[in-house]
Amino acid sequence: AQTVTQSQPEMSVQEAETVTLSCTYDTSENNYYLFWYKQPPSRQMILVIRQEAYKQQNATENRFSVNFQKAAKSFSLKISDSQLGDTAMYFCAFMKRDLTTSGTYKYIFGTGTRLKVLA
Amino acid sequence: DAGITQSPRHKVTETGTPVTLRCHQTENHRYMYWYRQDPGHGLRLIHYSYGVKDTDKGEVSDGYSVSRSKTEDFLLTLESATSSQTSVYFCAISGGPTGIPLAKNIQYFGAGTRLSVL
């Protein structure tokens, strides 16, 4: 069974600094996707970034980038130039398609890292 | 906003009473999911649906049932609520509408329902 581990329950960073959130996962699959979701105090789950496992190039979205190490099963999120609005819970998620149930997309989430950006 | 509405947004109920949470989508996504979020556990899958009247259990399905009679609606029922079911419940959709393949594997979430069972 797939598992997703976020070993940092809480982190803090100074405004304008860079912070890296770690995520490791365990799977025997070769084709899958990885995601980072952000959950601000409003509770809404917001997609931050997505990575396809078959792509070697790391995904980037403005100030957000990932370091995807497929062999090591590691998927860390780097936030550059941190802003107060980045304060949130961040969830790493693994997704694969389950071909035994009509192709359902199955997602497994880590336990989250609570990030606080300090002024 | 991915066109997902959860209702109610907040509910307080008593132990032993039935509770139904509703998820409504306007995006024509094939797959729908119910999760619960608890401190220290992240999001855990309760049930999911892969089509009208096609549902299956997730990792924490005990005490919950679901129904999907229309593409746009996915109901989660707690037949007899217990205090351990106090949680925040999220509905999610994925699979994408026809014609937008790149969005298919992204999961979009509703705003959540905070349920307190006293």
Ranges of each domain in chain A: 3-118
Q: For residue B8, is the peptide bond before it cis, meaning its omega torsion is within 30 degrees of 0?
A: yes
Phi, psi of B65 (to 5 degrees): -135, 160
- Residue B33 sits in a domain whose CATH number is 2.60.40.10
Chain B contact for A105 (CB, 8 A cutoff): yes
Report CB contact under 8 Å: B42, A110: yes
Q: Which CATH topology does A3-118 take?
A: Immunoglobulin-like (2.60.40)
What is the residue-level pLDDT of chain A in tens, covering all 119 positions? 789 999 999 999 999 999 999 999 999 888 899 999 999 999 999 999 999 998 889 999 999 999 999 999 999 999 999 999 999 999 999 998 877 767 788 899 999 999 999 99
Query: Residue B24: beta bridge partners?
Result: B5, B73
The Cα-based distances of A61 to A113, B107, B108 in angstroms read 19, 17, 18
pLDDT at B29: 86
Residue B18 sits in which domain range? 4-117
pLDDT at B94: 87
Helical residues (DSSP H) of chain B, grouped into ranges: none
pLDDT at B104: 61
Report CB contact under 8 Å: A107, B45: yes
Collect all residues of chain A within an 8 Å Cβ-Cβ radius of residue B90.
Answer: 45
* Residue B8: strand, helix, or coil: coil
The Cα-based distances of B57 to B7, B33, B60 in angstroms read 22, 10, 8
**Burial class (CB within 10 angstroms; exposed 0-12, middle 13-18, buried 19+) of A90:** buried
Report CB contact under 8 Å: A101, B42: no
Residue B99 has pLDDT above 50, yes or no: no
Domain count, chain B: 1
Q: B31: nearest CA in chain A?
A: A104
